[in-house]
């Protein structure tokens, strides 16, 4: 429609339907002649208004608004603005309980095969570890369950409705917000945080049953594969070895460590998952514990860089001792020290050359300095590797008995260390479990060398009495001290091609051999691979760390005397 001229009156225009104002905000004014060509809003012409008149109209409109509010308050359901087209904005409704007859709603959408609670409990959106929920449909972690939380948005966007709180183990349905209490969810709650009774824990070494995961794969609790995320096989073998030390295992499976630091809590969860008889999958992942270790060690031990198992074992035992409230000076203040710690006598003397002794190095008892030291791990030195090759022009791999390298602690054989000669002797009482480190790697300023010497041993009947200083008040003289092997960590060097000058490099592969006491068998674990092996073949590989358990000798009857 063409614009009308300013002189054309409004009444001469063609009448057109238009929505009328719902509330008149300006009162009608009497007909007055047109001034300055300004028409009125109601069809009449308006005259220029003064500032005082505008203020009066504003006050009149405010009074009218106040009256409307009072009228709406007196009349329930009245629309103040009279605008029926705009929807009212209300808060989302939350249910305290499921609707009657629909208590199992959405539970059929749970997919147990995708659930993996081994990874660190962090929200996949905010990366926060506070108030984390796991979606039981897709397995992802989200923070919170309120109307503005990440889990709430995920429920609306993806139509995933069932969530479990990783701290309280309560299951909720979103966006309704009510808690689900159903016995069908007990298996999920158990996998989130496995808890065994004291009787069940005490039967682990006597009655061990074969179990199956959700995919129908058979596994034995305690002898499961551990995921090697990138290069954390050194960590896997150490955790497996410690998880098969019964006093340590029982402590972390039964004790309440909720008030302890995260290191102790996460190791406890890992041990319980290793021995879980109702697992959804036949392996575990150490990601959660590794993240805490990387943080505490300032990234000295990570899942992306391979480290030495002995370095990690030493660091881990000491920090685990402190996280359990152990003392740095007082011995026996934690389960770590009560299981592994022992005492050692060290005799040292400066190296001197005497002309009257034929310029030989001698160990003089008159100048010996003695000190008592405590240990968690005993280091055993291998003889030097051979220089010459055999007839087939191949390196000779020597063998040495375990008892021969244990003579380091007989108190007679001396060893040179810097400018001193030292002798070692173990003291009573020996700890319930002994950790042996067979030293294979040595470094200097130029090169790192590996000693491939094979250590031969029997898995049972190791007598440690010859290496302990006699003390009749603590142990009868001549009485044997028998130890049996529990775990054996082995090393294997594998050639792998890389971009180096030589074209090949050695890659370290770590395995752990574990004793199944319930079946009297041996199992070898390498990452996710678990297989049975013969006890007679354990020594054929390069042993690096060994765990020995002290055998409980039968008590002598008091009624019988000496013959």
Whether 511 and 536 share a structural domain: yes
Q: Is residue 274 part of a domain?
A: yes
- Give the integer Cα–Cα distance in Å for 233 and 508: 9
Nearest to 517 by CA among 434, 459, 446: 459
Whether 216 and 239 share a structural domain: yes
Q: What is the pLDDT along the chain (563 residues), one digit of tens a residue?
A: 455 555 555 455 444 454 444 444 444 444 444 444 444 444 444 445 555 555 445 445 555 555 554 444 444 444 434 444 544 444 556 777 677 656 678 899 999 999 989 889 999 999 999 999 999 999 999 999 888 899 999 999 999 999 999 999 999 999 888 899 889 999 999 999 999 999 999 999 988 889 999 989 999 999 999 999 999 999 999 999 999 999 999 999 999 999 999 999 999 999 999 999 999 999 999 999 999 999 999 999 999 999 999 999 999 999 999 999 999 889 989 999 999 999 999 988 887 655 455 444 556 655 678 899 999 999 999 998 776 666 655 667 889 999 999 999 998 888 887 778 889 999 999 999 999 999 999 887 777 888 899 999 999 999 999 999 999 998 888 899 999 999 999 999 887 665 554 545 678 999 999 999 999 999 999 999 999 999 989 989 999 999 999 998 765 534 443 33
Q: Is residue 522 part of a domain?
A: yes
User: Quick one: pLDDT at residue 17?
Assistant: 52
Q: Is residue 204 part of a domain?
A: yes
DSSP three-state, residue 493: strand
Q: Is residue 59 part of a domain?
A: no
Contacts of 393 (CB under 8 A, 6+ apart): none
267: containing domain: 198-319
Among 191, 221, 248, the domain boundary falls at 191
DSSP string across 318-356 = HHHHHHTT--SSSTT-SHHHHHH-EEEEEEEEE--EETT
Whether 469 and 533 share a structural domain: yes
Which DSSP category does 192 fall into?
A: H
Q: Which DSSP helix (H) or strand (E) runs through 52?
A: helix 51-74
Whether 294 and 275 share a structural domain: yes
- Give the integer Cα–Cα distance in Å for 116 and 164: 13
- Give the integer Cα–Cα distance in Å for 326 and 334: 5
306-312 long-range Cβ contacts below 8 angstroms, 24+ apart: 306/231, 306/232, 306/233, 306/234, 306/508, 307/234, 307/235, 308/234, 308/441, 309/234, 309/237, 309/238, 309/489, 309/510, 309/544, 309/545, 310/377, 310/437, 310/544, 310/545, 312/234, 312/235, 312/238
Among 135, 157, 191, the domain boundary falls at 191
The domain tally of the chain equals 3
Whether 285 and 302 share a structural domain: yes
Q: Is residue 209 part of a domain?
A: yes
Q: How many CA atoms lie within 13 A of 421 on its CB side?
A: 17
CATH number for the domain including 125?
A: 3.30.40.10
Contacts of 64 (CB under 8 A, 6+ apart): none
User: Quick one: pLDDT at residue 448?
Assistant: 81
Whether 352 and 300 share a structural domain: no
Whether 222 and 168 share a structural domain: no
Q: Is residue 214 part of a domain?
A: yes
CATH number for the domain including 203?
A: 3.90.70.10
DSSP string across 349-410 = EE--EETTTTSEE---GGG-EEEEEEESSEEEEPPPPPSSB-TTS-B---EEEHHHHHGGGB
Whether 182 and 209 share a structural domain: no
- Specify the pTM: 0.78
Nearest to 374 by CA among 426, 422, 325: 426
Whether 418 and 530 share a structural domain: yes
Tokens 């031969």 appear where? 456
- Give the integer Cα–Cα distance in Å for 557 and 122: 59
Q: Are the C-beta atoms of 421 and 505 separated by less than 8 Å?
A: no
Q: Is residue 44 part of a domain?
A: no
Extended strands (E) in 181-256: 211-212, 218-219, 225-226
Whether 393 and 535 share a structural domain: yes
Q: Is residue 265 part of a domain?
A: yes
Whether 523 and 374 share a structural domain: yes
Q: Are the C-beta atoms of 313 and 327 separated by less than 8 Å?
A: no
Tokens 């997919």 appear where? 111
- Give the integer Cα–Cα distance in Å for 403 and 407: 7
Backbone φ and ψ for 81, nearest 5 degrees, come out as: -80, -15
User: Quick one: pLDDT at residue 550?
Assistant: 96
Among 253, 286, 319, the domain boundary falls at 319
Whether 177 and 305 share a structural domain: no
User: Quick one: pLDDT at residue 22?
Assistant: 45
Q: 3-state SS string over 471-485?
A: CCCCCCCCCCCEEEE
């Amino acid at each position: 429609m063409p614009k009308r001229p300013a002189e054309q009156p409004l009444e001469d225009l063609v009448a057109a339907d238009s929505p009328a104002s719902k509330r008149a905000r300006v009162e009608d004014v009497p007909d007055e002649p047109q001034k300055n060509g300004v028409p009125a809003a109601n069809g009449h012409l308006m005259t220029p208004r003064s500032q005082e008149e505008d203020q009066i109209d504003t006050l009149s409109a405010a009074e009218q608004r106040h009256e409307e509010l009072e009228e709406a308050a007196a009349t329930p359901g009245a629309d103040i603005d009279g605008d029926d087209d705009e929807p009212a904005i209300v808060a989302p409704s939350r249910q305290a309980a499921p609707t009657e007859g629909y208590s199992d709603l959405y539970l059929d959408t749970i997919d147990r095969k995708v659930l993996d609670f081994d990874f660190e409990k962090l929200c996949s959106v905010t990366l926060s570890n506070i108030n984390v929920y796991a979606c039981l449909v897709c397995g992802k972690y989200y923070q919170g369950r309120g109307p503005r939380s990440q889990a709430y948005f995920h429920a609306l966007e993806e139509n995933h409705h069932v969530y479990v709180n990783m701290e309280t183990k309560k299951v909720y349905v979103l966006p309704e917000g009510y808690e689900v209490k159903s016995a069908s969810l007990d298996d999920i709650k158990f996998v989130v945080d496995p808890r065994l009774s004291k009787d069940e824990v005490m039967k682990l070494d006597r009655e061990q049953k074969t179990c199956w995961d959700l995919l129908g794969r058979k596994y034995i609790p305690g002898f499961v594969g551990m995921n090697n995320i990138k290069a954390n096989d050194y960590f896997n073998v150490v955790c497996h070895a410690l998880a098969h030390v019964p006093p340590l295992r029982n402590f972390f499976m039964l004790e309440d460590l909720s008030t302890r630091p995260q290191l102790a809590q996460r190791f406890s969860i890992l041990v319980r998952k290793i021995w879980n008889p109702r697992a959804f999958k036949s392996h575990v992942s150490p990601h959660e514990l590794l993240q805490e270790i990387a943080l505490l060690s300032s990234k000295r031990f990570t899942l992306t860089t391979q480290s030495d198992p002995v370095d990690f074992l030493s660091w881990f035992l000491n920090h685990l001792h402190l996280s359990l409230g152990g003392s740095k000076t007082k011995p026996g203040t934690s389960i770590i020290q009560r299981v592994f710690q022992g005492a050692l006598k060290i005799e040292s003397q400066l190296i001197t050359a005497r002309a009257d002794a034929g310029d030989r190095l001698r160990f003089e008892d008159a100048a010996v300095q003695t000190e008592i030291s405590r240990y968690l791990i005993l280091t055993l030195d291998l003889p030097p590797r051979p220089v010459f090759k055999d007839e087939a022009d191949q390196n000779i791999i020597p063998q040495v008995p375990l008892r021969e390298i244990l003579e380091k602690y007989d108190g007679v054989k001396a060893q040179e260390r810097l400018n001193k000669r030292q002798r070692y002797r173990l003291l009573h009482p020996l700890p319930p479990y002994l950790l042996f480190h067979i030293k294979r790697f040595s470094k200097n300023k130029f090169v790192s060398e590996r000693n491939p010497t094979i250590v031969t041993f029997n898995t049972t009947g190791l007598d440690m009495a010859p290496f302990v200083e006699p003390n009749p008040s603590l142990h009868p003289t001549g009485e044997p001290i028998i130890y049996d092997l529990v775990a054996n960590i082995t090393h294997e060097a594998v050639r792998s091609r890389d971009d180096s000058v030589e074209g090949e490099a050695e890659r370290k592969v770590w395995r752990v051999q574990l004793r199944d006491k319930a079946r009297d068998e041996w199992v070898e674990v390498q990452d996710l691979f678990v297989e049975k092996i013969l006890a007679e073949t354990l020594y054929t590989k390069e042993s690096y760390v060994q765990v020995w358990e002290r055998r409980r000798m039968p008590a002598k009857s008091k009624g019988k005397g000496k013959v």
